[in-house]
Amino acid sequence: MYTLDIDNAQIVDDVWHRAGSDFQTRINPVTNGNIDATFESMLSYKPSWNVFTEVLMNEVLPDIYHVYSMDNRLKKFKRPGLYTNGSWLREIGYGLIKAHNYSKHATDVFSLNESEVYANYHYQNRQDQYQLSVSTEDLKQAFREDGGLSRYLVGVMNSIYASDELDEFVIMRQLLEKYDATTDIFNVHVDNFRTSDDPEKTGKDIAQKMRMYDGLFKVRLTERFNANHVPSRTDETILICTPEFDSYMSVYVDAYAYNLNSVNLLANERVVIDEMPIDGCEALLCDRDLFVCADTVLDSESIRNPKARITNYFLNHWGIYSMSRFSNCVKFSSKEDTTITLNTPTVTAVTIDAVTSNAGVADQAIKGTDTFVTWTVTGDNGPSQSVVFTVTGEKPVSTNTFIDNSGTLFVGTDEQNTTLSLVARSAIDRTKKSEAKSVTVVDTKPDA
């Protein structure tokens, strides 16, 4: 549990500077010499006491929390600040373009040569609220005791804010498991260091592989190590591992690396978490942007219950928690190496199988809601099922109408087309595309 080396006068003085002019006019600036008189003055005038408790719990406490934060070890992957641009976040990846031979006789200067553009949409999927009831008498008692307010605030922090912090950590840790289950992260085989007859040699073998992939991430654009197989390069790598793995590498590898003046031998930074949620996985080497996580709402509110002589405080934490399909990531586990096949997958056909509105109606899309598209890519050597969708209509399509690469079509409420045409094009062979699928746009659900 955290402890705060802050006395009562320092905390009340912080409240005094944050409170309004009415409070400051009635209550004198606080020192250790007049703390008792200040307490009695606030108790004798109820509005002043109410202002004190309101500012203490809703302003001072959250700021102390950020300084003495319970540690979500994966928080460094979150986007900084508050995301205020809505409840969804768009991630864009770009392909490479092909060079052409220069010709001074070229005449096709107005031809269209677009870069491959990929978009992934990440939606708000957390709306948590934490409630804590604070007794007026408990707070008064804390005020009377030397150092009581800091102990009281620590107790509140460990109750409400630590709960939030732990929940967020669990959410982000579970994302790793889901990400591996849905994308099958590129695997590098490493021997089990726990049963090794030569732990130093095993440690150096593991370090050599990690060092190699750290270099591969950084030296060139590669499509091999991310889920969407878009060209990507990593400037800053992070190694996610457990305390057991971290201690092992610290003993058998880091000391050796230190002598070589190469402290960051394995990655630019190391993040140690309690356990790896991926079966058989010892560590993950990844890009800092692997997680797509952002707070959309983070605030606190309170309401007084005079009958019970308590104040109910509410911490609201909403956010977007997802994983990037464009960021590089490899796992080091006891499983066999990911096979890099030399048989290049080929695509013979792309078919849109079904389009279903959220009301369950085929070939229909309802404005302001999600519509679900399924498709099949056929060919030889297991071609990727990844496709890039296009949406067209007789009129220009609304900028609020879009479809992501997972097949979720959202039709904006301002869409002017009554019929939309969908085409799915193979992500690995842009010459192969489906026949256009016609989708009827309606304003509301049937019988609404």
Averages of pLDDT over runs of 10 residues in the chain (448 residues) are: 70 88 88 84 85 83 62 90 88 75 56 77 95 84 82 77 91 96 93 91 92 91 89 92 92 61 72 94 95 93 85 92 95 90 80 92 93 92 88 94 88 94 92 94 73
Look at residue 259 in the predicted model and tell me its pLDDT. Answer: 47
Look at residue 341 in the predicted model and tell me its pLDDT. Answer: 57
The two tokens of residue 3 are 């402890």
**CB contact at 8 A, 290 and 327:** yes
Domains annotated on the chain, with CATH: 73-95+116-138+171-340 (no CATH), 346-442 (2.60.40.1080)
**pTM, full prediction:** 0.66
The sign of the torsion formed by the CA atoms of 216, 217, 223, 228 equals: positive
